[in-house]
Structure 1
Amino acid sequence: MGRTALLDAVVALLNADSPPADQAYAYLVIIQMIPEAMRFNPILEHIVHLDPLAGYNVHWRDGAPLTRDMITLQNHWRTISDAVLWDDQGDTESSDYNVALVNRQLDEPQGLAGLLSCVALLLWSSNQAGYNPGPGPSGLGKRDVGFLAARATKNPINSPVPKDGWIPKGHDMFQILEVDAVVKGQNWLRAYGEGWVYTELEGSVPQNFFDHKEELYCQVIGNVNTKTGGSLAVAQALYAAGHISVVGDLSSYNIVGLDNKITTSDSTIEWDARDTDFNVYDEVQTARLSGKDGYADVKYVVMTNARKVGISIAALDIDGQNSIYMYGQINATATLLGESHTFGLYRIEDRPEIHWTIEKGAEVSGPWTLAIPMKQKKVQIDLSLYRSRTLLADKLLIHDSVTLSPESRSATLKGENGKFRIDTTWD
C-alpha cells in the first residue's frame, strides 16, 4: 500500500496544481482501494492489536470489540462512500469533477479531511505493523495524519498553495542531548570519543556525533563523574517506520598518557519506531553503552514536528594573522521539550589541535546540526575562543553571544582580537 497507486493518489490530491482529471482519478483510486484494504489487507488486524485497550489476541473479523481506530476508520469510510460512491451526478470525464466532489459531495473541507485522515491511518498502521518498513517514502508517519488533515482544512484542493507553505514542514528528528562517561580506576582524565548514528534513512552510513574526535573532559570521583563536554549535536530526520542504532567508542588518557579505553564494540543503543512499547516520541530517554573499562550514558530524544538547524562559523579576521592555533568553546543553547539544553559544537580546552587557516578573509567551521521543535524560533550561539601562542601569553579572541532565528539567520561578532560571522539554516 505504501509504494504504489494509493500513495501516488494521495500525492496527487496534495498537489493543488494537478490537472482536474488527475485529481478525479486519484479520488477514484483511493475510494476503491480503501474497501479492498478493509476486506483483504492484514494491516487491519494490527490496528486492533496496536490498541492496548483491546489486547493482543483480538481479531476484528471474529466479532470482537472494535478499537477506537477501527471505529474511526469505518465512520470515515461510511461518510465518504455515501457522499461519493452513490452520487449520480459524478462525472469523471468532466474537468470540474473534482470541484464537484469537494464543494458538493464532500461538504468542503470536512469530507476531504476525513478522506485523507482515513488514508493516513491505513498507511500509518501499515508501518506500525511492520509492513513496508523501509526508509523514505514507504509510508506516512503519525505526524502525517494531522499533516493530511491540515492540508484539507487549511488549503482546499482547488486553492493555490502559499509560497511559504500552509503548515510548518516538521519532521521526526533524533537528537542526542547529553553523554556522561565513567572510566574505571581514573581520578582525573581527559577523554576523547567517537560516536556514530546508523539510520535506515542513510543506508547504515554512520553519522559522527563527536566532531573531529574532539576532547571531552570529565572528573571522576568515586566512579561518579561530571558531565562531559564535546560535540553532541546530531540531527537526523526519522520517519515513523525509522530505526536507529547508536554506537559509541570512548577512550581516555591520564596525565602520564596511559590509555584506558572503554570497549563498546558489542554495545549499541537501538531505537525502533515500530517497537511502541519501549520507544516513544517527545520524551527524553537514557540508554547505556557498556564496556569492560567503563560505560557511557546517552540521553536522547526523538521529536515529532521538529526542524534541523545548521550552524556555521566563519573566522573573518584573527588578530591580523594568516593562520593560528585556536582553542576554547562554541556552544549552542536551545529549548527542547520545555527545558533549555546547551550543546558543545567546538570544545578544545587547553591543547589546541585544530589549526585554523585564514585565507581570503574567512575560514569556515561547521556546519554543526541541531534538531529542535518546529515551534522553537531561536538558538543562542556563544563564542569563547583564544589564540594559542608558544612563547607569549595566550590571547583572548572573542567572548560574546548572539541569538539567531529564522527571521535573523546571520550575525557578525567582533571581539577584542577576532571577528567572526555566524550563519544558520532552518530546514
Structure 2
Amino acid sequence: MKNADKPSMQVFEQLESEVRSYCRSFTTVFSKATGAKMWDANSNEYIDFFAGAGSLNYGHNNPAIRRKIVDYMLEDGITHSLDMATKAKESFLTTFDETILEPRNLTYKVMFPGPTGTNSVESALKIARKVTGRNTVISFTNAFHGMTLGSLAATGNGYKRAGAGVALGGTAFMPYDGYFGDNVNTVEYLAKMLEDPGSGVETPAAVILETVQGEGGLNVASRQWLQDIEKLCRKHDILLIVDDVQMGCGRTGTFFSFEEAGIKPDIVCLSKSIGGYGLPLALTLISPKYDIWKPGEHNGTFRGNNLGFVAAEAALAYWKDDSFTRDIKGKADAIRSTLNRLIEKMPEGSVKHKGKGMIQGLSFTEPEMASKLCGLAFERGLIMETSGPFDEVAKLMPPLTIEPAVLEAGLKILEGCVDKLAAKEELVGAGQA
C-alpha cells in the first residue's frame, strides 16, 4: 500500500446501523475501483479477491460494459419501467436466449422478480408451492439462500436465522453431500426419509440446493450426487431448484454451475453478477410448464432495472464462445496450485483445500486462523473474506476477468501471509510464543 494511514471510520461508526458487517473487516473508506483493484480515500491500493461477494465477476467498472451504460443514459434510455416492455429488456431477453439458453439446450421462461438474490429465491419457492400444492421445501445443511423470511427459512446458518425474530417454517433440512464424510451417501438418506411414511417428512414441493455452498464453507457437491438428487426429484414429482445466485455467471467455470453435472433444474435463481456491472438485477428461470403465475401475482417496484438489462446484455458478450470458460479454467488452476503449495507450509492436517473454479479457499481446523489470515491480507493490500459455519474458510473469489499479473500479485501477498501464520504456528508448537 502506498500510504500506511487509513481514512477515518468515524462517520460510519456514529451514523450507520450496528448491522453493518464488511466495513468492520475492511476498515477503510474506499473511493475508486477498476478491474480487480480498489483504492481508498488515502490512495492505498488493494487487490480485490472478494468481488462484491460474487457480484463483480467482470470486475469493477468494466470499460466495455460501462460504455454501454453511459451511452444508454446519454440517449435518455428508459431507467425505471416496472415490468413494462422496453427495448432494453427486449434486447437482453433475446441475447440471453441466443447466447446462454439455446446453446445449452435449455428452455426457460425468464421472470424478473425484483433486484436481489433473495427476491429470486422467494419467487422460486412460491411458484414451486403454487404448482405442487405442497408446503414443505427440502433444503440442506449449511445452505444459504437469502435474508428475507422465506429464503432465510431455507438457510442453515443459525446466526442468520436467529436474526429473523420469528419462527421459520415450511422447510426440512437434509445433509448435504459429504456432510457425514465421504463414505455416507446422503442421497440414500434423503430417499429413505421420503419413502418411509413414518419418517415425518412430507413429500416436498421442491428441493433447493447450491452446487457449491459459498457462504456455507465452499462445500462442493459431486456430479453423481447432483444427478442422483435430480433422479430422486423426478421419481417423486418434486421440483428441483438450483440457487445459482453466487455460483452462476461463470464463478465455477461454466455459466451455470450445474452444467458439468448434466442436470436440468426446473427453476434456476440468478442474481449478483447477472447485473454485469454490480447493478441490482435478478432472474428466476422457470420451466415453461410450471410458469402458471397469474398477472401481477408476484411483483416488485424495481424488477424493471433497465440499466441492469443493458449491463447484463453487455456482459453476455463474454459467453459468445468458450474462450472465457478456458480463461477461467487457467486462472482456477493457478489458484488451486498455489493453495495446494501453501497447505504444505502449514502444520500437517491443520488446513485443507475447499471449493472449485474461481471460488476456492483454505479451511482451517482452528477456525480463528481463517480470520487471522484475512486480517493479515487486508493489512498487506489484499481483500478476502471468510465463510463456513465457524468462519473457518479463508475464501478467494477474485473477478473472473482479473489480469494474470494481478492474480499472481494477489497470490504472492497471500503466500506471505501464510508464511507469517506458519511461522507463528511453529513458535507455538515449540512452546516459544
Pairwise TM-score range, normalised by the shorter structure = under 0.3
- Higher relative CO (Cα under 8 Å, sequence separation at least 6) belongs to 2
Q: Per residue, is there more helix in 1 or in 2?
A: 2
Q: TM-score, normalised by structure 1?
A: 0.23
* Larger Rg belongs to: 1
Q: TM-score, normalised by structure 2?
A: 0.23
